[in-house]
Structure 1
Amino acid sequence: MSDVTANEVTIRQYRPEDVKYLMEYAEENEWDLSMYDHLAYTRIDPNYLIVAADKDDVPVGFCGVSQNAPDTIYFGNFIVRKDLRKRGIGRLLWKAMLEKAGDQNIVLDGGPEMADWYITHGFPYQAYKVQFYAVKVNDEMKQNIMFKYDTKTLMESMWPDLMKYDSQVYTNFDRTRLLRAWFTGDDVRVAVAMEAGKIVGYGSIHRKPNGEYGLRNIFGDNEDVIEALLHNMLSVLPEGTVVHFMMPEDKPLPKYIQHSMKVEETAVRMFNKVKIETNNEKIWFATAHTV
């Protein structure tokens, strides 16, 4: 590993060959990040990712600036190589993010230990905090279970109703463009729960490296809806498969996955100008990537 100072660093747009370093640094920090996430970001903005490169043009840090809505920016993938932290590289990336975001509402998900720093740097509004978990699919989860709710894989014809349901959670924020980006591709499947022909919940599962999976944005009217969605998405996976997810701290673990293990990591959603309001009663599984 080379020794690098901030004075030797150049800030530039990413190139495809840089992504392997982002994934490497994310894995070192046990982040819930994969190529699925990167490709979703690029569908929103092909130039979302900014790189801090050393004198040999090798990436030593990253940050992402995603235009998730006409007036809303999301900051993500903010990371500096472990052995080069506290040298000013992060400050260069932070400045680059702010310059690219301009005068818009900015959203980020930061570790609680960073909350005070973000507050002093212009992010005073906080929403829910999430706890990270992992669950291993077992034989009991694969058994046939009868549910009150019918669960189906999302089809194109369901999109209007899906977004109508999503607007019950994000009451003043249209996420159509965002969800189109994240619910596209071979590595993701979206399940919807129906009652009398009406959507009462939905969730997504995506494939991660090493045969693992991740759950994102599972919303539902009640725990029974969530149980049905989880069974739909997890019961088809091989026994022993590890699935990662995040839950708001005030939500109980559904019975179907009560053997889940907590990961020693939490994140808190923060805003610099306006707190985007949500109906938290319907949010069961959250994400640190979409807003």
Structure 2
Amino acid sequence: MSRAPQGPITIRTMSSSDLETALDWAAQEGWNPGLHDADCFMAADPAGFLMLCADGEPVGSISVVRYAEAFGFLGLYIVRPDWRGRGFGRRLWAAGLERLAGYRVGLDGVVERQADYARAGFVTAYRNIRFTGPPRPPGPPDPRIVPVDDVLLPAVLAFDRRFFPAPRDAFLRCWLRGEGRRARAYLADGRVVGYGVRRACRLGHKVGPLFARDAAVAEALLTDLIQGVAGPVAIDVSEPNRAAVRLAESLAFAPSFETARMYRGARPDLPLAETFGVTTFELG
């Protein structure tokens, strides 16, 4: 049961420990964040995470990350269950959108909030479906799939640029190389034609992003990334890419969660036919 605050209500920029708290809340919501997401999220935009406090304690969170070219992404929108029903969510929402004023904004909305987001001017572009399934036993290495090392990193950053509405190099430098991650690229004639990242999560692992020029490259990368890990593996698939859906199903993955990718402002023209796995619902 929610309770009335006795003191002032404040909204502040999150510290690193605040962000860890918000990710704990996300885990309690069943969103299964990565074990080491916080540092990479902060790298994207250190001022892009807001915490609402009542009686001096954190009770609500929202991420409103600004990228270049006036693009922003909204996520981690949570009010603690014992503080709901007091209007705190509306305060957070207003503060978040104020920070993104003048920006084209994307979000991945859970089913129960999509009507609310539509009333706020967000338009559904397509569904994302989380497929979850078993890892695979280790197999023979594919010589076309290589680690994303310092030498290859610039080429992977350049390849990623087509798949996101704005440059995100600071975020990716952490996402690709951070703790608990496996990043692999697929080379054809010395060129990057696909890449993917696997990261450890509260439960099992997630693969994201998974970008590839075609389904064969995506399958080779995904097979490599899900070998030899413990626990279930999840990948968030954009439903318009039917080849991605078929690939997940062919590996005995089943739908376990869904969101709607929604935008306020012009929808970006991204290559969904080559998008086999979303990077993260929190930051796009």
TM-score (norm 2): 0.87
Structure 1: state its 5+ residue gaps: none
Q: Is the Cα contact below 8 Å between 2:19 and 2:49 reproduced in 1?
A: no
Partner of 2:13: 13
Relative to structure 1, the CA distance from residue 282 to residue 145 in structure 2 (aligned partners, 3 Å threshold; closer, same or farther) is same
Relative to structure 1, the CA distance from residue 143 to residue 16 in structure 2 (aligned partners, 3 Å threshold; closer, same or farther) is closer
Relative to structure 1, the CA distance from residue 38 to residue 259 in structure 2 (aligned partners, 3 Å threshold; closer, same or farther) is same
Relative to structure 1, the CA distance from residue 257 to residue 69 in structure 2 (aligned partners, 3 Å threshold; closer, same or farther) is farther
Partner of 1:142: 137
Q: Is the Cα contact below 8 Å between 2:194 and 2:212 reproduced in 1?
A: yes
Relative to structure 1, the CA distance from residue 60 to residue 146 in structure 2 (aligned partners, 3 Å threshold; closer, same or farther) is closer
After superposing on structure 2, the runs of 4+ consecutive aligned residues of structure 1 that deviate more than 4 Å are 5-8
**Separation of aligned partners in 2, 1:233 and 1:194:** 15
**Separation of aligned partners in 2, 1:102 and 1:14:** 19
CA deviation after TM superposition for structure 1 residue 163, in Å: 3.1
CA deviation after TM superposition for structure 1 residue 71, in Å: 1.2
Read off the aligned partner of 1:164 and give its amino acid letter. Answer: A
Please tell me whether residue 189 in structure 1 is matched to residue 182 in structure 2.
Answer: yes
Read off the aligned partner of 1:144 and give its amino acid letter. Answer: G
**Separation of aligned partners in 2, 1:24 and 1:167:** 30
Which residue of 122, 141, 160 corresponds with 2:154? 160
**Separation of aligned partners in 2, 1:59 and 1:134:** 32
Read off the aligned partner of 2:271 and give its amino acid letter. Answer: N
CA deviation after TM superposition for structure 1 residue 245, in Å: 1.8
Summarize the alignment of residues 1-291 of structure 1 with structure 2, pairs less than 5 Å apart. Answer: 3-4=3-4, 8-55=8-55, 57-124=56-123, 126-137=124-135, 141-144=136-139, 150-170=144-164, 173-209=166-202, 212-238=204-230, 241-250=231-240, 251=242, 252-254=245-247, 258-263=251-256, 265-286=257-278, 287-291=280-284
Relative to structure 1, the CA distance from residue 198 to residue 17 in structure 2 (aligned partners, 3 Å threshold; closer, same or farther) is closer
Select between 269-278 and 18-27 the one with higher mean Cα deviation: 18-27
Read off the aligned partner of 2:233 and give its amino acid letter. Answer: V
Percent identical among aligned pairs is 23
* CA displacement, residues 172-221 of structure 1 (integer Å, 9 cap, x when unaligned): 643334422422422222110112212111100111235x2111110112
- Give the RMSD, CA atoms, in angstroms: 2.5
| Number of positions where the alignment pairs a residue of Structure 1 with one of Structure 2 | 280
**Separation of aligned partners in 1, 2:79 and 2:265:** 26
**Separation of aligned partners in 1, 2:258 and 2:96:** 23
Read off the aligned partner of 2:100 and give its amino acid letter. Answer: A
Read off the aligned partner of 2:137 and give its amino acid letter. Answer: K
* CA displacement, residues 2-43 of structure 1 (integer Å, 9 cap, x when unaligned): 613598532222234434532332122101323422221111
Read off the aligned partner of 1:54 and give its amino acid letter. Answer: A
